[in-house]
Chains A and B, each alone.
Chain A
Amino acid sequence: MEFKTQKGDLSRTLDLVLNIVPPKTTLPVLSNLLLDVKTDSICVVSTDLDTTVTTTLKGEVIREGMITLPARRLNEIIHHAGDDEIHFSLEDETVVRIVCGSTDCRLPGILEEEFPKIPSIQTKERLQLPAGMLRRMVAKTAFAVSKDETRPALNGIFWRIEPRRMEMVCTDGYRLARMERTGEFPVKGKKEFLVSPKALNQMAHLAEDSDEMVDIRVDNNYLVFSCAGTVVYSRLLEGPFPRYEQVIPKDNRKELITRRDRLMQSCRRVAIFSDSLTHQVQLSVKKNELVLKSNTPDVGEATDRVEAEYSEDEMDIGYNATYLADILKHIDGDMAKFRLDSPIKAGIIEPVEQEKDENYFCLLMPLRLAE
């Protein structure tokens, strides 16, 4: 195996594959990248067994061959490379010589046969969607994915595609974010997947240009995204995803409208005095005003006020300030609308003005005060 490439090209390639390399692993070869050098292409692969990314690297092939090299060390070498042209050559079975300007180094790798096989896909269906749209849908929902390993069905993004609508939903059991797009989508019937946010994030960043199309293929076990020479294979997560439609309140009639940024800043200020575990802030919903309060023994207390349009019954609701600020950060526009019912029921938070063809909202469950 022998090839030459440019520092800039290699560093862009590494950006695409490094995110997938697991930080800690019991299988050492997963810390490595596979380099598959053929006469007409150089292919670079990373995998964590659930998500696999393959991409191509520009370069001049001198001799074909394969090897795996430690990803993070390779990245460091490239980061500090003193010259543009980098020359890779396999010296014996597993040691790669890397020459760049005045630097000459030898990096031991692991034989390519230990690297997991790239999934083979029995393609049943394929469709194309604009990268920008997917990126936006992922960005608006993925923050609500659960990190609790004991609830695996909540660890993914639920993605449903129908001929005239498409939605992504994420929830951690305490809040939910849902983005729906209407339009024409090239599918037959209804398609539903539960996908790891890691893979979708990776996919969302493949295209440099929002109008570029992402090619999507599906089989029973994998979703495969390809765009601009890079392919992301994502093992589908096991559900079932909760029946979230049932928890979306239908008759939250008490509407409150407020400046989104003001409330977000107020929430962060008051949260300084909230309990470090529950992050509890109390929202007192009053006529044309929201009063935020927090009070923690040994920490102190704070009160803050934000103007709001509201004319229903006054009430006090406890929320996790981190969750609330997170939601407000993801809502577009100047004004946010709360649709509320009672202090122990889910509240709906949404932008006052939805973008064209979009319907976006978040649900937030309150905190029940300790008795």
Chain B
Amino acid sequence: MKPERWILHVDFDAFFASVEKARNPAIRDRPVAVGNGVIASCCYEARRRGLHNAMPLSRARRICPELVVLDGSYPTYRAVAAKIFDLCREISPNVETFLDEAYVELTGTERLHGTPVEVGRRLRAAVRASTGLTVTVGIGASRMIAKMVGKSAKPNGLGLVRRGAEAAFIGALPIRDLPGVGYRYGTLLDRLQIRTIAGLRALPVEALAKLFGAHGEILYRRCRGEDTVVVEEREIPRSVSRETSFHAETTDRREIEGMLFYLSERAVWTVRKLGLEARTVTVRIRYAGGGGESLRRSLPFPTDLHPPVLRRALRSLDEIDTRREALHLVGVALTGIALPKARQIDLYDEEGARRAEGIAHALDRVRERFGYSSVVVGKSLDLVEKLERNENGFVLRTPSLTK
């Protein structure tokens, strides 16, 4: 007999802020926010006072003057998350991990570990003992249900939807809780007076397809509690991104290009260390006065070297940075990440390509031994006088994003 399908979703409660509280008991009962410029993560104490993620810190301080604001340290969060993910992997080999959440495929583990609820309770206790953090566990017959029931049990809770009760459970939830209904679709459905997920079931699949295109059919199935995505151990990240705000808003082209050089070099380095290649480069900027632009462009072929990525990134920056206004933030994201494939040989610059490969690997070896910032290359030299460095690289203004 085929084992019953069970998925467990783990969500770290107020992750960055909780790690900071666990490290420093003196701030345990105080409202804490991590971030720089905007809140990247805030604790439940802070949320009770009306703060939320992505809120500008200036506003947060006005609302809550006693707020403890911390810069945060991504390497620490990474290490704590890795500990929790390891505990998940003790339960099942199939664990799909994200920054502060994970899906664990429980199917077939019942005889080994007991019922899903027992597994969930034990995992929560183990995380508490090992890291001092609380997590919320959601359990259901699909990823979607597991995550949705987890959300309703937050914080520090455990929720389960029994098999067959999925449709009834999600039916009462507000329509915007349905994965795939974002701001745009939400607004459209508001106008149609559809407020709950059950309300969406009144629409036939043809009507949904007309409203939302191919996405309509997915929503048709989702609002009935169906979701068939399998949990996969994801060794290949969907994207690798690096972005930061500037210490002081800037119009200095050398500083902006220097930062883009540095961020793209680090992103490519991460991809290369994983033995992978990336094909698509997205550059994002935000203006000091609000608003921003981004541009996504693919390279002719995937690469694990910096020069082609940089060329593309600089060109994209030229195309989108058209306002005469200071920049608040710049970032780069690599997507289309995959294992290396056959490489198209270049007619003109094969030797250059080989040389770039050699330089990259030589730099990697030096950085492995003496730290990333032991070598500063190219346009990022323009940052040397503007930014402090530690062995991990430049100290950026948004350290929680300094992955």
How big is chain B's contact interface, by range? 20 to 34
- A318 close to chain B: CB less than 8 A: yes
Interface residues of B in 286-320 (CB under 8 A from A): 297, 299-302, 308, 311-312, 315
Among A53-61, A90-98, A169-177, A184-192, the one that faces the other chain is: A169-177
Contact in complex: A176, B347 (CB < 8 Å): yes
Cβ-defined contact, A150 with B347, below 8 A: no
**Which residues of B lie under 8 Å from residue A346 when comparing CB positions?**
347
B193 at the interface (CB under 8 A from A): no
Interface string of B308-349 (1 = CB under 8 A from A): 100110010000000000000000000000111111111111
Report Cα–Cα, A258/B127, bound state, in Å.
67
Q: Are B315 and A365 in contact (CB under 8 A)?
A: no
Q: Which residues of A contact B300 (CB under 8 A)?
A: 146, 148, 172-174
Q: Are B348 and A277 in contact (CB under 8 A)?
A: no
A277-B302, A363-B347 are known contacts. Are A150 and B312 too (CB-CB below 8 A)? Answer: yes
Main secondary structure of the interface of B (DSSP, over half): mixed
Say yes or no: A275 contacts B341, CB within 8 Å. Answer: yes
State which size class the interface on A falls in. 20 to 34
B344 lies within 8 A of A174 (CB):
yes
Q: Mark A211-254, 1 if CB is under 8 A from B, else 0.
A: 00000000000000000000000000000001010010000000
In angstroms, how far is the closest chain B Cβ from the Cβ of A340? 14
Q: A122 at the A/B interface (Cβ < 8 Å)?
A: no
A370, closest chain B residue (CB): B340
Using Cβ atoms and an 8 Å threshold, which residues of chain B touch A149? Answer: 297, 315
B389 close to A (CB within 8 Å):
no
Residues of A within 8 A of B176 (CB): none
- Chain B positions within 8 Å of A68 at CB level: none
Interface assignment of A27: CB less than 8 Å from any CB of chain B: no
Q: Interface code A327-342, partner B: CB below 8 Å = 1, 0 otherwise?
A: 0000000000000000
CB distance from B346 to the nearest CB of A (A): 5
How does the 8 Å CB contact mask read for B346-359 relative to A, with 1 for contact and 0 for none? 11110000000000
Number of A-B residue pairs, CB cutoff 8 Å, is 67
Instruction: Write the chain A residue with the least CB distance to B314.
Output: A150
| Interface of A: prevailing SS | loop
Give B274 Cβ to nearest chain A Cβ, in Å: 15
Mark A162-184 against chain B: 1 for CB-CB distance below 8 A, else 0: 00000000011111100000000
> What residues on B are CB-neighbors of A371 within 8 Å?
340
A278 and B347 in contact (CB under 8 A), knowing A148-B300, A150-B311?
no
| Proximity bits, B155-185, A CB within 8 Å = 1, else 0 | 0000000000000000000000000000000
Question: When the two chains form the complex, which single residue of A146, A244, A344 contacts B345, counting CB atoms closer than 8 Å?
Answer: A344
B347 to A367, Cβ gap below 8 A?
no
- B347, A173: Cβ atoms closer than 8 Å: yes
How long is the Cα–Cα vector from A344 to B342 in the complex, in angstroms?
12
A172 contacts across to B, CB distance below 8 A: 300
Q: Does B279 contact A (CB under 8 A)?
A: yes
Which residues of A line the B interface, CB within 8 A?
Answer: 146, 148-150, 171-176, 242, 244, 247, 275, 277-278, 280, 318, 320, 344, 346, 363, 365-371
A-B contacts besides A149-B297, A242-B347, A370-B339, 6 pairs, CB < 8 Å: A150-B311, A150-B315, A247-B347, A277-B279, A368-B342, A368-B343
